[in-house]
Amino acid sequence: MKKIGLVGGISWVSTLDYYKYINEEVNLRLGGLNAAELIIYSLNFADVQKKTWEGAYELLLGACQSLKASGVEAIVLGANTAHLYADELEQAVQLPLISIVSETARYIKLQGLNTVGLLGTKFTMEKDFYRTKLEQLGLQVVVPSLHETREYIQHVVKEELGRGEIKPESKARFIDIANELMQEGAEGIILGCTEIPLLISQVDFVVPVFDTTKIHAAAIVDYMLS
């Protein structure tokens, strides 16, 4: 089994899901008492917020370098937004980086979809790093068109879900926003932030919903056991 280094804490809430999903999948495939060989570097999310995502490269690089020094064979960034720096970090650390964006795109294409709605942090929805990668891999991407809607999603992710707070009114609004994307042609919805699955999931929709945390975790296990 290959040893994986996970940069977590961004936020700690979704890092719990990563740890759970990866170990469950390893045990499902290998049985017995098998569990993942996994090292987690849990960043202080408050430090990331102080730097802002645009200034967080050095924090992420330090975490990746520490993981490399501990003997891991690949790096995982436990947040969609952190993939803003995925290519740079992979080059700097000289270890494989298992990309949540690439793995999500491949998974969706296997389902036969072409147009998807994307919900995530403001950076994920607005900047090129995520949408362009999806488009390069053959998908058309729809995001909420109103700046106010994207700001609202950002607020909920940061101030509620990042603290582990689940509010019924926020769930209802997220469902409405996803339905608006479907009216604009989305055939499925990407939960492009590892906290959003805490709020909404497949049971809330009739179209396919893609939980990037689960997709990423399965791809991580594929690599570990390859």
Question: What's the CA gap between 220 and 29, in Å, rounded?
Answer: 13
Residue 120 dihedral angles phi and psi, to the nearest 5°: -170, -165
Question: What's the CA gap between 122 and 182, in Å, rounded?
Answer: 19
The reported pLDDT for the residue numbered 164 is 86
Q: What is the residue type of 17?
A: D
**pLDDT tens-digit series, residues 117-154:** 999 999 899 988 899 989 998 999 999 999 999 999 99
Q: What is the residue type of 91?
A: Q
Q: Which fold has domain 101-212?
A: Rossmann fold (3.40.50)
H helices, E strands: number in the chain = 10, 7
DSSP structural state of residue 97? B
- 115: enclosing H helix or E strand: strand 115-120
pLDDT higher than threshold 90 for residue 194 = no
**pLDDT tens-digit series, residues 27-83:** 999 999 999 999 999 999 999 989 988 899 999 999 999 999 999 999 999 999 999
Of the listed ranges 9-13, 66-70, 198-202, the one predicted with least confidence? 9-13
pLDDT higher than threshold 90 for residue 214 = yes
The reported pLDDT for the residue numbered 49 is 87
Domains 4-99+214-224 and 101-212 share a fold: yes
CATH tag, 4-99+214-224: 3.40.50.1860
Domain ranges of the chain: 4-99+214-224, 101-212
Q: Give this prediction's pTM.
A: 0.92
Angle at CA of residue 180, ends 128 and 217, nearest 5°: 55
